[in-house]
Structure 1
């Protein structure tokens, strides 16, 4: 069942009163600026709003290593270390990189009183939710259909999906790719899979970005200007957007508009935190460059929103204002964090068994096309067959 929640006008959770000692602490782990800037910015907002625990506030913020795949024990150690704080009552991890489930398992053994929440999970859903109280992920299955459909609406004839083996080992990302391929077939679009270097490999983020900068013009020449591009890594979207703006093609959807700042050289320092103003400034640059109707984004970053909404939800649960299994209250926190934008959500359904996992909530928002406006993708009914594709 799909749920639709209206947007609220303001994010209403109040800050800790000045001079007051927070009654409990909430730990937040995010990526760094280079790996997951938006999740970090959301955590910074929570620090600003609720105060640093070291100064009597509510929030303790840590980051996982950029090379989290090779430094998994560092990630686990940092998370488990948060449980040493006797006032720690909730931990939010966003993005929930590999190692999160094991860390949660160890924390659960030591501190069963701590609420454990995971955003944008990168491990098997069954493993994560066995340890977490609740997890939230972008609805990769619905988007597997909706993104190619949006590309078709914009005029694309070919859809290129770019990824690397690590991401293609994640169940949700593999299923999304399979859904995209089937959707392209049904929509009479050509589907192409291209491989890129992993930013966590020896080439690093810079090498992975350089690969995209060099390859995208060749792909456009090979597949044509009516080609839409999609990649599974945040750091590789920036060079992709840069080349699309220069050379043509379509970029259907980013789950954060901030990616356009570095890609197009847009100074958003004055607009940071004001998402409507930020979106408007990006739109003016894109339209002035003649790229209106070819580039799109979510209006609010999912990484930013997960950091803010999951922290807000954790606070509501700890204060007795919500129960951890109340998806409506959870989604209210999402809409409170994103004024003017509604969200769709559904429980994750296992493709093999058809069983719904009520501890994993799948979410997405509408696609905003610069120079055109919202496409109304949250109003589209995704055909049931796509949820059964493995």
Structure 2
């Protein structure tokens, strides 16, 4: 926790030193809604406060991004219609982002296009973006299995549904997780849930999780670890794991603010929003009530705040420099920004080398609570 404190202090100092920044241009930032991804939304609010609402224009993806891609395209194109907008940041880069960026390229080839934590195929998104950054979802597969082993897991249940498993990144992560589990002697179980985007909606998915987790724990024992690919089921999943005493290595967006507060009934005061250290302490205290310390985890620093803040800072530095569009990819600047925002504790590497040379991924440190 001392390492976490020093890291967060560094983040605070970065924010203080940059708060007076005045830019002769604007950044268009699109994130989840507060209902779909509160952490991303609150981080966007922090970025707006840091640079100013006259510099950062914040909009949101539609709640049902996969079926409302025209709305996403329209929102992103509204950024491009403003001649002062020089940077667009999409995080998550949800369905519709690639199509929107293609249209932006047609009318504003000068705009720096940045994508964070893509849910679309990064190979396709990368062709229309200048830089895409995300957690190493594939590497996460092995990391989750290893963390589960440290927590004492003997079984791993991977919850998903066909639409997500059609995504090559999610599928590759699943395969890596299964492969590493088998190597570690952990029984790997595929759990298929209702699709939250289907007609029955998120509530049907959550109800399935609330009913199925106890069944799985009864069948395989409390040393069963769970992983899910979808935000809509995480609160129900954490709540069920907490009630059954099972294992949860971390969410697929591995932050202490990602569904933990709602699942564990933790009230977050206004002055604690975004305080990851405080949130980790509250989760640990809740786990202690049921003697469950050591059975849940998070990444530090949290994934989405790191991606959103560092991409916006990267955009500021590129747009403030004398770079032409063919020079927008500057890995050394990305590395410098990541070092500042993680206090030097990070890993960053090309995802598929020459295949997607502008897609960078990283893995943060897993903190067991």
Instruction: Mark the CA change 1:48 to 1:321 in structure 2 (over 3 Å): closer, same or farther.
Output: farther
1:126 aligns with 2:133: no
* Structure-1 residue corresponding to 2:197: 200
Alignment of structure 1 residues 183-262 onto 2, 5 Å: 183-254=180-251, 255-258=254-257, 259-262=259-262
CA distance in 2, matches of 1:200, 1:32: 16
* Structure-1 residue corresponding to 2:320: 319
1:105 aligns with 2:106: no
CA contact (8 A) 1:298 1:368 kept: yes
SS in structure 2 at match of 1:343: coil
Instruction: Mark the CA change 1:130 to 1:289 in structure 2 (over 3 Å): closer, same or farther.
Output: same
SS in structure 2 at match of 1:250: coil
* Structure-2 residue corresponding to 1:368: 367
CA distance in 1, matches of 2:217, 2:25: 53
**Cα RMSD, aligned residues only:** 2.1
1:342 aligns with 2:339: no
Instruction: Mark the CA change 1:192 to 1:129 in structure 2 (over 3 Å): closer, same or farther.
Output: same
Match of 2:87 among 87, 90, 95: 90
SS in structure 1 at match of 2:35: helix
Compute the TM-score of the two structures, normalised by the length of structure 1: 0.86
SS in structure 2 at match of 1:235: helix
* Structure-2 residue corresponding to 1:386: none
1:182 aligns with 2:179: yes
SS in structure 1 at match of 2:300: coil
* Unaligned 5+ runs, structure 2: 1-5
CA distance in 2, matches of 1:321, 1:346: 26
CA distance in 2, matches of 1:41, 1:190: 38
How far residue 48 of structure 1 moved from its aligned partner, in angstroms, is 0.9
SS in structure 2 at match of 1:136: strand
Instruction: Mark the CA change 1:209 to 1:163 in structure 2 (over 3 Å): closer, same or farther.
Output: same
1:309 aligns with 2:310: yes
CA distance in 2, matches of 1:324, 1:363: 20
CA contact (8 A) 2:10 2:341 kept: no
CA distance in 2, matches of 1:107, 1:342: 35
1:12 aligns with 2:29: no
How far residue 187 of structure 1 moved from its aligned partner, in angstroms, is 1.1
CA contact (8 A) 1:94 1:118 kept: yes
1:46 aligns with 2:47: yes
* Structure-1 residue corresponding to 2:72: 75
CA contact (8 A) 1:25 1:59 kept: yes
CA distance in 1, matches of 2:249, 2:222: 14
CA distance in 2, matches of 1:277, 1:290: 20
CA distance in 2, matches of 1:15, 1:136: 22
How far residue 210 of structure 1 moved from its aligned partner, in angstroms, is 2.1
CA contact (8 A) 2:123 2:355 kept: no
CA distance in 2, matches of 1:261, 1:113: 41
Alignment of structure 1 residues 151-166 onto 2, 5 Å: 151-166=148-163
Alignment of structure 1 residues 20-39 onto 2, 5 Å: 22-39=23-40
SS in structure 2 at match of 1:230: strand
* Structure-2 residue corresponding to 1:144: 141
SS in structure 2 at match of 1:67: coil
Compute the TM-score of the two structures, normalised by the length of structure 2: 0.90
CA contact (8 A) 2:276 2:302 kept: no
CA distance in 1, matches of 2:60, 2:197: 16
How far residue 310 of structure 1 moved from its aligned partner, in angstroms, is 0.6
Instruction: Mark the CA change 1:362 to 1:17 in structure 2 (over 3 Å): closer, same or farther.
Output: closer
